[in-house]
Amino acid sequence: MTPPVPPASRPTLLVLDADPLPRLGRLTGRVRIEHADATTLAARLPDADVLLVWDFTSHAVREAWPGEGPRPRWVHTASAGVDHLMCPELTASDTVVTNARGVFDQPIAEYVAALVLAMAKDLPRTLDLQRTREWRHREGQQVAGTRACVVGSGPIGRAITRTLKALDVTTALVGRVPRTGIHGPDDLDRLIARADWVIAAAPLTERTRGMFDLRRFGVMQPSARFINVGRGQLVVTEALAEALRRRWIAGAALDVFEHEPLGPDSPLWEVPGLLVSPHMSGDTVGWRDRLGTQFVELYERWEAGRPLLNVVDKQRGYVPGR
């Protein structure tokens, strides 16, 4: 058991709060834990050695970081994406940024597989017909033997690929650069033109923002379905809605949106063929505890002077991988 650190020597961990708060019990007596919200973050940043962005839906870090005074040496966000906190001043600084890479991979892959099966078997329509007590026989689609194009070759994209292959779906993976087993961006149009399932799981960067626009939806075949579990800004939302209304594609499912939460007056609720879910694809029972445990383990590496894992390339906006 690690002995307590004298109070005067304890580093300061600042937590950008979200409810419920993280469980950091193993750090008791080893670190001074302070809390902030969007209104107090800027004033408390100069006194922090480490910042834990527990509220990963907030843009408070991006807004507070350019202020006066010292800045934390390390920032960890309890999310896979980092676009909500990056700003030019943080990018140019010596501060190390880490993310929650590894926590959400398999849950998101399972969610994508569930969406593929639900759309292929027309389960949303089955539920609608059950509610109206209507017996209407239909034919579903066989998933085995179909083709998928997964855009985003990080851990989430690779987990999606493995899971779809278990359903006997022929899957092509597209990344930032071509390499063994991964296609490059130049192959994207060719691959989505043949795909039954197009799945967006890429990080949000200047290169990926708006990559799924009206032209890209026009490239897809009329029987294709589109799924976005990456970032909402990967998609030009109105272009997707227009493609569905014109029946350029057969259907779509969005778990992430340009603006969240999706308001009750959003026209997306009524777009034909669109499944809407509230940014939940990676959230399974106990996910917050797993995020807390991951941070504690990272903190112990930092405390011991060992190299951190999940270090984000601040220029690219994600953790480089194979």
Positions marked catalytic: 231, 260, 279
Residues pairing with 50 in the sheet: 13, 74
The C-alpha atoms of residue 279 and residue 290 are separated, in whole angstroms, by 18
DSSP 196: S
The C-alpha atoms of residue 168 and residue 146 are separated, in whole angstroms, by 8
DSSP 210: T
The C-alpha atoms of residue 224 and residue 197 are separated, in whole angstroms, by 6
How big is the chain, counted in residues? Answer: 322
* H-helix segments, the chain: 41-44, 60-64, 88-92, 105-120, 123-131, 155-166, 188-192, 214-219, 237-245, 287-303
